[in-house]
Amino acid sequence: MTTVGLLGGGPAVEAIRSALSDTDAEAVAIDADSIGATDVAAAVGSVGDDGFAAAAAAARRTDTALLAVELGGIGGLAVEGVDAAISG
């Protein structure tokens, strides 16, 4: 079974959790220090959130795939009219 670590909260995390409920993957709430214990991780936060840097560093250190959902902008910059940007 694939374990998907979810960092953050709110509607975006719940949407990911809901989508995964139709699969054989297990969605678990984690913090950045636990990324290496998962097969893949998704980090959700507002534009510029420091949690992205911590999650990215942990993912690189543990060679874990990371999907980032950045609310309100992209690349740490707020962009008017952008609800969310997804990168990996």
Q: pTM for this one?
A: 0.91
The domain in which residue 42 lies consists of 3-87
Per-residue H/E/C for the chain? CCEEEEECCCHHHHHHHHHHCCCCCEEEECCHHHHHHCCEEEEEEECCCCHHHHHHHHHHHHCCEEEEEEECEECCEECCCCCEEEEC
Q: Say what percent of the chain tops pLDDT 70.
A: 100
- Domain with residue 30: its CATH number is 3.40.50.10330
Each residue's pLDDT tens digit, 9-50: 999 999 999 999 999 999 999 999 999 999 999 999 999 999
Q: Diameter of the chain by CA atoms? A: 39
Q: What is the pLDDT of residue 43?
A: 98
Provide the domain count of the chain: 1
Q: pLDDT band at 51, cuts 50/70/90?
A: very high
